[in-house]
Structure 1
């Protein structure tokens, strides 16, 4: 069940995150065979990707009966999500997976608890998962300066092109 939980977090990461922080799900559920619930915070508003996120989460939940991902929209894009995350962590009720912008990577690494994805996959028995499934230059976009993998980039944009 540990591998399924890690894969669930990675799947949601693939779909909509650039940084994983918080990471404090109820591990007891994974060990006892109960349904694992993963709270996923995102910035995809109804008018900007929210319907797709809901569809992806619903599809994932249908195909993984022992895992339930609960998506939660956070308004005011990444700044609002980061403020809400700070408050949640101060209260001890952190989400498991969050969508953060690249510009918040260092802030998240320095101020939030997070799970190094390489360590999580190693503990789950597949230490080469990241290396086998992602290009090194893509992985580097969500690594700390000391090489910890705190997220998975899922898209790269060009805001202005001349």
Structure 2
């Protein structure tokens, strides 16, 4: 007897997709101290990250020139130019954005924390949840979490 595909998929697909929808901790967070706290955003400053594109272009350009050293000077020049371009392009793509944000946070317990991020999760004065483990994540949250028990 041949089983139709549509009924079989309609029954099994929810079970197969439910394993993808579970929320577990990040695999990189194992065997580490994970800290969660809530804080007010006091100030936000723009920062510029260092870039390695120039150095990468120089190294790849030298490699391209040496790789084409057996030809004439035009081969060396073209090899250096093409290698420098693609080396710089790959480095720029792998580095990601060059600009970020420095968040000055005031935690609920009174601690002052500075976090540098490459994304913009919240505005000044908002309440955020900070999770520090393998990396730092900051997410805007309800303002009720930023009031300590003493303020009620």
Quick check: which one's helix share is greater?
1
Which has the larger share of strand?
A: 2
How does the TM-score come out when normalised to structure 1? Answer: 0.19
Q: What TM-score do the two structures reach when normalised by structure 2?
A: 0.20
Greater CA radius of gyration, 1 or 2?
Answer: 2
Instruction: Return the structure number with greater relative CO, CA threshold 8 A, min gap 6.
Output: 1
